[in-house]
Amino acid sequence: MSNAMRTPAGAISVERYQGAVAEGRFRRLWNANAPGYLFLLPWLVGFFGLTLGPALISLYLSFTDYDMLQSPRWVGMANYVRIATADPKFSAAMDVTLTYVVFSVPFKLTFALLVAMALNRGLRGLTVYRAIFYLPSLLGGSVAIAVLWRQLFASDGLVNAALSQFGIEGPSWISHPNYSIYTLVALSVWQFGSPMIIFLAGLRQIPQDMYEAASLDGASKFRQFYKITLPLLTPVIFFNAVVQTIEAFKAFTPAFIISGGTGGPINSTLFYTLYLYQEAFGNFRMGYASALAWILVVIIAIFTAFSFLTSRYWVHYDD
């Protein structure tokens, strides 16, 4: 190859020369790019085979009837129309999920921020407290914790035993449709550890001299919080809010375990992902479940876009 390049042009035919140049260009392109693409190969295979391909197929399936036994039958918009107009379980699932998001995320973030502020004072034992508050976040996704939670809020469970010491007779939280969702909210709030750690990191970014200047000017603690801490923390609050909300939309395991996979009582813990699972792997309505999946994606996308659009009015980046 390199010999051909060094041979004077006149010594070989024009065709062979052009061929050699083209081959040389190819070789150079190959040499420049091959290592990159070789390193990227596993990811590329995964991207096309496990992400892009399946996503396109899932979009197609959402317009079909598909039970995995017969090949998909095109039904146009029928799945989406049924979801929008004639599926009470969809509206129940949406209701449950939105309730969960609206209650769990603000409470979780408020706790996370309060505890982070309490810890951000140069206290002794900071690392021990931080570890204790973080532990539930790490264990939280497991079946064992969901099992434990089901017991805590059972009619003869610990929560009611504690309440009875104050002479209060608690309801059977888990099996009452009005309360069951809030036991799951409580579980989510209990896991405030990871947003708390992000808040702690954010609080450390705030220059101490701002507080010093403010207290010299006689600003109260509350005013310092309101005028310094909160505005400077808005990027972190925004980040935590977006991440936690998306996670809340995707919650599955606790609802599955606590309701025994049913989403009961009376659909009161029928999380969106649980309904999707039931349709796909319980009823084998793969087309319908694909439509449900795409609606979830659209909802998360709208929510995220909305957060980013409104963020410019309340999130302060200090440039």
Q: Which of 212, 223, 230, 283 binds another protein (CB under 8 A)?
A: 212
Q: Which is nearer to another protein, 12 or 214 (CB)?
A: 214
Q: Which of residues 95-114 bind another protein (CB under 8 A)?
A: none
Minimum separation from the CB atom of position 92 to another protein (A)? 18
Does 67 bind another protein (CB under 8 A)? Our answer is no
Does 173 bind another protein (CB under 8 A)? Our answer is no
Q: Which is nearer to another protein, 29 or 266 (CB)?
A: 29
Minimum separation from the CB atom of position 11 to another protein (A)? 32
Minimum separation from the CB atom of position 91 to another protein (A)? 19
Does 282 bind another protein (CB under 8 A)? Our answer is no
Does 263 bind another protein (CB under 8 A)? Our answer is no
Bridge-partner residues for 73, per DSSP?
65
Of 83-91, 98-106, 148-156, 174-182, the segment contacting another protein by CB under 8 A is 148-156
Does 197 bind another protein (CB under 8 A)? Our answer is yes
Does 289 bind another protein (CB under 8 A)? Our answer is yes
Q: Which is nearer to another protein, 17 or 303 (CB)?
A: 303
- Which residue in 297, 288, 306, 304 sits closest to 84, CA to CA? 288
Q: Which of 243, 265, 307, 316 binds another protein (CB under 8 A)?
A: 243
Q: Which of residues 128-147 bind another protein (CB under 8 A)?
A: 129-145, 147
How far is residue 10's CA from residue 31's CA, in Å, rounded to a whole number? Answer: 28
DSSP sequence for 54-86: HHHHHHHHTTEE--SSS--EE-TTHHHHHHHHS
How far is residue 115's CA from residue 199's CA, in Å, rounded to a whole number? Answer: 9
Does 306 bind another protein (CB under 8 A)? Our answer is no
53 Cβ partners below 8 Å, 6+ apart?
none
Q: Which of residues 215-234 bind another protein (CB under 8 A)?
A: 215
Q: Which is nearer to another protein, 102 or 161 (CB)?
A: 161
List the alpha helices (DSSP H) in the chain. Answer: 2-6, 14-46, 53-61, 78-85, 88-119, 126-139, 143-152, 158-164, 180-190, 193-203, 208-216, 221-224, 230-249, 253-258, 272-277, 286-314
Does 180 bind another protein (CB under 8 A)? Our answer is no
Does 30 bind another protein (CB under 8 A)? Our answer is no
Does 262 bind another protein (CB under 8 A)? Our answer is no
Segment 257-263 long-range contacts (CB within 8 Å, at least 24 positions apart) = 257/143, 257/146, 257/147, 257/150, 258/146, 258/149, 258/150, 258/174, 258/180, 258/183, 258/184, 259/180, 263/93, 263/96
Q: How many CB atoms lie within 10 A of CB 162?
A: 12
Q: Which is nearer to another protein, 14 or 32 (CB)?
A: 32
Minimum separation from the CB atom of position 183 to another protein (A)? 12
Q: Which is nearer to another protein, 16 or 73 (CB)?
A: 73
Tokens of residue 225, six digits: 């919080």
Of 12-20, 167-175, 263-271, 295-303, the segment contacting another protein by CB under 8 A is 295-303
Number of residues in contact with another protein under rule CB under 8 A: 103
Q: Which is nearer to another protein, 75 or 280 (CB)?
A: 280
Does 266 bind another protein (CB under 8 A)? Our answer is no
Q: Hey, is 168 helix, strand or coil?
A: coil
Residue whose tokens read 């979009």: 59
152 conformational bin, left if phi > 0, alpha if psi -120 to 50, beta if neither: alpha
DSSP state of 310: H
